Structure 1
Amino acid sequence: MALLTAPAHGSPPVRRGEVNRVTARIRSTPGRLVIVMLVLLLAGLLAGTAWVTGSSQRASAAGGARTGSSQLAVQAQELYRALSDADATAAIAFLSSGVEPADLRNRYQSDVSAATAALAAVANGGASDKAAIQQISAQLPVYTGLVETARSYNRQGYPVGSAYLREASGLMRGQLLPAAQRLYDRETTALKAERDDAASLPWLALLLGIGLVVGLIRAQQRLSRQTHRTFNAGLLAATLVAVVMVLWNGIGWAVVAAHIGAANRDGSRQVELLAKARIAALTARGDEALTLVARGSGASFEQDYVVQLGALVSGDHTSGLLDRARSAATDRAVRASVDTAITDVNAWLAVHKKLRAADDGGDFPGAVKLAIGGDPDSAATIFNRLDGVLAQAIRATSAVSDKRGAQAAGAFGGQTGGGVFLTIVLLAAIGVGYQQRIAEYR
């Protein structure tokens, strides 16, 4: 009796004849055409994807730099300026006996309001340094409270008011301003990083695009030899589309990089130098007033005044903030403003020497008059002119930075949509070009 065994389950063995037929089909002319077509389609898809993805990412960086980090950097700079000006104005107002002048009081209150608004804008805008924001938010009311206490004692003629003012200024310079500086540095670093990302070379998309163009040209040469036909309409169209993609990508990058470079060179770099110069001038102005408020014990403030003025204009006329701002200025009006600022700094130094001579000689009222008086040659008049000139130069260079940043963001217009459209046209042209030749072998 024969044993019955169930047939083994599984797929039937592949017949050698089928393998040979598949191999022969691949090695045939139509098979080789299909393989080349698939390779070109994959290369076109990769090139188009790299272009669309890269342009989208760089456009996002350019837009973020324009509407995000750029605005945060402006607000952080305004926060630092307002705090520094409030400190200087409070010290100057204290020199007035009794009730301080209304204009100084209004300026101080305006500075505090501006600092509060800038702090809120930075916090709501998503600034990364939360610790600095919290520190300023907590300590600003303490500072204003100390100033109000100093004012109250000063109106009553009590000398203890000067101690409260020095404590307030110490809090401002030791805690508030350093925190504001950290915040400003963090946001300017973020702005630079986003602009660098927007201006980065799309090397992958360009390499894939150039490789695709070369591949299409080689493919047409091969087809021409095989079919004895000079042109293939589909592949010729695909090659032209690929060339347009490479040129659009490359020229677009060059335009964006040029605008970003101009935004940095003609705008943000000059803004940074001018802003630092303005802060140094404000700090020096506060030092000058606090030296007088201290009534003989303000040597440290006088030393800092010398340091701040030295940071503005150096003896070699090259390393000072204003010296560097003049060298960096690319606009005649801005350069003229910086020249005026340098002249004002030198005039201020001359008046300050007279002021110190009067104070050291026992003529305190005369020194105070030189410090806060309204005469054309007083320190107050010269400083106000200097501060106004620097503010004007900062506005001008900031406008250039904003304009160039907007142009950089606008240069990406249409690249994403255009990239998708051209990629579809490219793939269709490759497919049509090869299908015409493949069909001839059927």
Structure 2
Amino acid sequence: MASHTGDEPGADRPAPATGPTRPDGTGRLRDALRTTPALIVLSGALLVAALTVTAAVAVQSRTPATTLGERSAATAVGTSTTAREIYQGLADADVAASAVFLLPPTEERRASLVADYDASVHEVERTLTVSMGNAAGDPDRLTRLATIAARLKVYRDVVCAALRVSGPLSATATGNRRPCPPAAAAEQADTGDAAARAVLASAYARQASHYMSTELLTAAQGLWNYDTRLLRDARADARPWLAASLLAPLGTLAALMLVQVWLRRRTRRRLNAGLLLASVATAVVLAMLVSSWWHWPAADRGLPELERAIDAQSATQQRLGALLAGRADVYLGLGASVDPAGHKADFDGRDLCLRPASGPLPPGDRIDCTALEETVWPARQSRTPDAFRTAVDTVLAEGSAGRAFVAAEEHLLTELTTRNEEVSRMVADLPEARRHLGAAAAWLTLLAAAGVVAGLRGRYLEYQ
């Protein structure tokens, strides 16, 4: 048999006499590497390496494959819902806290506003506690939640300082709840007459509202963006693993076929049984990985549309936050603020008023600012009797401006609910990730590697 291969001792032909002179060591090494036994060993090493890479890809691609589709979308939407609840609760708390300082301490409506503020803050704290417990395995999200919790404590401390300065509330009026811890001895000292206390309280409220807009709501929006990025990351992470899951076994199968053909021609034998077994096993591994990624085309088509729906949902939430922040601007500007013009400028910058050419069906998320321009903003400078009281009644929930804010808020909440339902429907339409067969495929590659070693070992021993 060896006579057909030309690999028996003495069969290697010397280099032509006219060729270049080579050092003995280098020439012998090159000649040795060109022999069939050396090529068999080298081919076996390369095939085992390729099978090892295929096994690693089969195992490592499990997470990207199984998180793509309905599972990753449901996770992203669920965490985004939590972020939306936090954002909404913070904005509601700021509106209620800002409205408190429009009313004197003896006003009955003041107690209910404090109770609304307290309830909103406690709901945000409850959501944060639950979310932090669920984010134990996600350090980045846990850090973001902890940042919101720390900033919420700062906000509460400033609001509590304003509430203590503006005047005490009876425990009965607030449902026997303490919106703030008991004041320290230094804070219980007299801060001056009622007018001075009102200005100081309004300054605290202004500081709290500004901190809410620039720090707390920004952090909550950052959490929202982080959560919705889960979808983009799942899709981006899946692409290279999908390619590797297909190319690795295909490349290995091609290499096995090439070695089989080369070995058959080199040794003039029939097909090598070990390589044939390895080829069949690798083909099965390819089929298993294709099955594991079978949901990818439908998920890849559905995720971009879902991302756009979530972006629209986020835009609606931000418009709602701007509306609530604008309402707080009106409350603070009408109160005993030292900078009412600044509050009005903040309000105007949020672009909440109806435009003159809004058409027969004006946008529902905008308000008619006529009452604000004619009654509310000039109230503090007006000399008309009861002008301030009329303005306060106008902006609170029962007044014309208050009803406009409530109607715009209800419109945005309805739109947000519609967006939520649309997102939920899209999530339900996405395919569920298939059972990943990477572990079983890895065991098959070990069987294929054993076949390669056994098949090539037999041929190698024949040449020894």
**TM-score (ref. length: structure 2):** 0.65
Q: Which one has the bigger helix percentage?
A: 1
Tell me if structure 1 keeps the 8 A contact 2:306–2:423. Answer: no
Tell me if structure 1 keeps the 8 A contact 2:77–2:228. Answer: no
**What CA distance in whole angstroms lies between the structure 2 residues aligned with 1:243 and 1:288?**
65
1:107 equivalent in alignment to 2:116:
yes
1:273 equivalent in alignment to 2:315:
yes
1:344 equivalent in alignment to 2:360:
no
Q: Deviations over 1:106-158 (max 9, x none)?
A: 43222111222234345554522555543432442331342354364999x94
Q: Deviations over 1:382-416 (max 9, x none)?
A: 24423532542464366468768xx68x5264244
**What CA distance in whole angstroms lies between the structure 1 residues aligned with 2:439 and 2:390?**
71
Tell me if structure 2 keeps the 8 A contact 1:82–1:112. Answer: yes
Tell me which moved more, 170-179 or 159-168.
159-168
1:150 equivalent in alignment to 2:166:
yes
**2:125 pairs with 87, 103, 116, which one?**
116
Report the number of matched residues. Answer: 391
Letter in 2 for 1:343: P
Tell me if structure 1 keeps the 8 A contact 2:166–2:197. Answer: yes
Letter in 2 for 1:128: T
Tell me if structure 1 keeps the 8 A contact 2:80–2:228. Answer: no
**What CA distance in whole angstroms lies between the structure 1 residues aligned with 2:112 and 2:408?**
15
1:392 equivalent in alignment to 2:435:
no
Query: Structure 2: which 5+ residue stretches go unaligned?
Result: 1-28, 174-192
* 1:371 corresponding residue in structure 2: 395
**What CA distance in whole angstroms lies between the structure 2 residues aligned with 1:90 and 1:243?**
62
1:172 equivalent in alignment to 2:212:
no
**1:140-289 alignment runs, 5 A limit:** 140-147=156-163, 149-150=165-166, 152=168, 158-160=194-196, 162-184=198-220, 186-188=222-224, 190-191=226-227, 194-199=230-235, 200=237, 201-202=240-241, 203-223=243-263, 225=265, 227=268, 233-244=276-287, 247-248=290-291, 251=294, 254=297, 257-258=300-301, 260-267=303-310, 269-289=311-331
**1:41 pairs with 31, 34, 48, which one?**
48
SS in 1 for 2:312: helix
SS in 1 for 2:365: helix
Relative contact order higher in (CA < 8 Å, ≥ 6 apart): 2
Letter in 1 for 2:320: R
Distance 1:435 1:265, change over 3 A: farther
Aligned-pair identity (%): 16
**1:128 pairs with 143, 152, 166, which one?**
143
**1:61-72 alignment runs, 5 A limit:** none
Q: CA deviation at 1:28?
A: 6.6
**1:356 pairs with 350, 373, 386, which one?**
373
Distance 1:91 1:193, change over 3 A: closer
Q: CA deviation at 1:169?
A: 2.8
**What CA distance in whole angstroms lies between the structure 2 residues aligned with 1:368 and 1:74?**
34
SS in 2 for 1:411: coil
Q: CA deviation at 1:220?
A: 3.8
Q: Deviations over 1:355-399 (max 9, x none)?
A: 321343754454444423547883244244235325424643664
**TM-score (ref. length: structure 1):** 0.68
Q: CA deviation at 1:285?
A: 1.3
Q: CA deviation at 1:184?
A: 3.1
* 2:346 corresponding residue in structure 1: 304
**What CA distance in whole angstroms lies between the structure 2 residues aligned with 1:386 and 1:397?**
17
Q: CA deviation at 1:40?
A: 1.6
Q: CA deviation at 1:273?
A: 1.4
Tell me which moved more, 22-31 or 186-195.
22-31
Letter in 2 for 1:372: L
